[in-house]
Chains A and B, each alone.
Chain A
């Protein structure tokens, strides 16, 4: 089945630094990927839609200069959390759409200290 690989699974960083999260589609080409954030006991909230070769589309309230998304190839999308702060600590998950539905990465637990 379709697999989306997400790395790293966990990261701890100091406040003010930047963190990059990678999402790769391993056995299919993903022209569109999605980035979600999930707070404890809350639902997944869509942050942005990543389109290969073009600018990402951000949801209302999501700072595009803080959450940089790059989708340079059909198999790789990256999310960079810039100048991270403790309130950015969360669970970030990427997803890609195939004909048989959405497939998700395993998620990244970001802790900013």
Chain B
């Protein structure tokens, strides 16, 4: 059974700092991995999708890496801003279409 773990559970940083969020999964036989952002009481916004054959994806100040063999992914946020404050969720898709989510990392960027 696939399990996804995100560390840390919460993170508070000053504005402008670069930061890394971590995601690990137990079964390396994944189809893809996706990072989402969730604001309080809201749905999920897709940030980056990494296919199993890829090692990283970039979008603006965000960079996600994938090391499938070791079951790890990182989300790098450059020059963090208060508007980046949210919960960041990592999810993996296995052979079926189902997504398995981690519990998320709650990020607070202080002005």
Q: Is the interface of A mostly helix, strand, loop or mixed?
A: strand
- Contacting A46 at CB < 8 Å: which of B4, B42, B98? B98
Q: How large is the interface on A (under 10, 10 to 19, 20 to 34, 35 or more residues)?
A: 20 to 34
CB distance from A91 to the nearest CB of B (A): 8
- Contacting B97 at CB < 8 Å: which of A6, A49, A104, A107? A49
Residues 52-111 (chain B) with a chain A CB within 8 angstroms: 89, 91, 97-99, 101-104
Q: How far is the CA of A41 from the CA of B38 in the complex (A)?
A: 12
Q: How far is the CA of A67 from the CA of B59 in the complex (A)?
A: 38
Q: Which residues of B contact A106 (CB under 8 A)?
A: 42-43
Q: How far is the CA of A95 from the CA of B34 in the complex (A)?
A: 13
**B32 proximal to A (CB < 8 A):** yes
Cβ of A101 and Cβ of B98 under 8 Å apart? Answer: no
Q: Give B residues with C-beta under 8 Å from A.
A: 4, 32, 34, 36, 41-46, 49, 89, 91, 97-99, 101-104
The 7 closest A-B pairs by CB, nearest first: A106-B43, A104-B44, A101-B49, A43-B101, A107-B43, A43-B103, A104-B43
